[in-house]
Amino acid sequence: MLFNLFVQGCDCLGYIKYFDAHFTNFTGGVETIENCVCLHEEDHGILWKHQDWRTGLAEVRRSRRLTVSFICTVANYEYGFYWHFYQDGKIEAEVKLTGILSLGALMPGESRKYGTTIAPGLYAPVHQHFFVARMDMAVDCKPNEAHNQVVEVNVKVESAGTHNVHNNAFYAEEKLLKSELQAMRDCDPSSARHWIVRNTRTVNRTGQPTGYRLVPGSNCLPLALPEAKFLRRAGFLKHNLWVTQYKRGEMFPGGEFPNQNPRIHEGLPTWVKNDRPLEETDIVLWYVFGLTHIPRLEDWPVMPVEHIGFMLMPHGFFNCSPAVDVPPSSSDADVKEAESPKAIQNSLISKL
């Protein structure tokens, strides 16, 4: 693995603060990579907008997000890791995948079932990428407090009857994940499944517990039979979500030394066998997210970026939108070619 030195204007754009990273090298010394981590702010389109059809009053605000990122090279791939912090309280984790394909040779007229012919005599195998985000949550907790719990939310269609006369009623159903074995869960887009970490002793103005919601992005599970050797060392891939009670030393989902480890199911699969309680405790979320890559001709000779990730979204954490007081953009008008800029007043102030 090789951490990249950022190039200003390409890897990051705008007002930037760079940070160096320090690593232990193979001789036990210290190796420093300059400009390894980038902190910058960037425009991210519309934050919110509404136009009242009765009065014609319109308000719009631009979104600016604070981004912390680094990029590393792993063999033929580049992985960019990004944490985005938004003005409405959302936190997004994003991985960008690029680099070059790993190729195999073909005889004239030959094709391979387990790959895509990219060019004459060349094919790229199908493959998957997986990442794990370990998050020690402590939602709305003071130092040395631990009052969190996790609920799973699934959207259900109401049964036919008096409560669903038009056959289109649905509702969100919550289920408390009480212990670690109950909290081995998978994504289910058909029910809009997501998870909420709540503080059981802090409530918002409606009397509901404050919380943060984990919203999955696109995801997958390993495309392998249970006996696959890599699943012996990476058993954590068998589920998209694991929840554990915090314990010092439980840092790596595959255990401390997963490479060539002869022991089976080190890490998360072993830890959760204790089935520790998850109510009013220090919660650790382990979200496993992946991408199944079926190569295409457009991935050659260098792959355009693919995006995967997830969102942490406030759920009753605030009493209203924290983005409501974001000021208007300082740009009063779009500059268009061959047009004179128009004088535009802030519509809200002018109406008042």
* Best CA proximity match to 36, nearest among 52, 16, 65: 16
Q: Tokens 């890490």 sit at which residue?
A: 267
| Residues 186 and 212 occupy one common structural domain | yes
**318 and 265 inside one domain:** no
Q: Could you tell me which residues are beta bridge partners of residue 82?
A: 69, 94
Number of domains within the chain: 2
Domain that holds residue 272: 129-286
Question: How high is the pLDDT of residue 136?
Answer: 97
Beta-bridge partners for 241: 185, 287
**86: phi then psi, degrees, rounded to nearest 5:** -105, 160
Q: 309 and 280: one domain?
A: no
How does DSSP classify residue 235? G
| CATH number assigned to the domain comprising residue 156 | 2.70.98.20
SS3 call for 293:
strand
For tokens 């890791």, the residue is 81
Answer yes or no: is 105 within a domain: no
Residue 68 lies in a domain: yes
At residue 319, the pLDDT reads: 97
How many Cβ atoms are within 10 Å of 42's Cβ, its own excluded? 14
Determine the pLDDT at residue 2: 80
Query: Do residues 230 and 275 both lie within one domain?
Result: yes
Query: Residues 271-291: pLDDT tens digits?
Result: 999 999 999 999 999 999 999
Structural domain includes residue 115: no
Q: What is residue 1's predicted lDDT score, i.e. its pLDDT?
A: 58
Encoded tokens for 29 = 């010394």
Contact in structure between 88 and 47 (CB atoms under 8 Å): yes
- Its pTM stands at 0.91
Same domain flag for 18 and 44? yes
By three-state DSSP, how is residue 38 classified?
Answer: strand
Cα–Cα dist 211/137, whole Å: 10
Per-residue pLDDT of the chain (352 residues; tens, 9 = 90+): 588 888 777 888 888 999 999 989 889 999 999 999 999 999 999 999 999 999 999 999 999 999 999 999 999 999 999 999 999 999 999 999 999 999 999 999 999 999 999 999 999 999 999 999 999 999 999 988 889 999 999 999 999 999 999 999 999 999 999 999 999 999 999 999 999 999 999 999 999 999 999 999 999 999 999 999 999 999 999 999 999 999 999 999 999 888 877 778 899 999 999 999 999 999 999 999 999 999 999 999 999 999 999 999 999 999 999 999 999 987 655 555 545 444 444 444 443 3
Shared domain for 198 and 154, answered yes or no, is yes
Q: What is the DSSP string of 57-122?
A: -EEEEEEEEEEEEEEEEETTEEEEEEEEE-TTS-EEEEEEEEE----EE--TT---TTEEEEETTE
Q: How would DSSP label each residue in 176-199?
A: E--BTTTT-B---GGGT-EEEEEE
With respect to residue 315, please indicate whether it lies within any of the assigned structural domains: yes
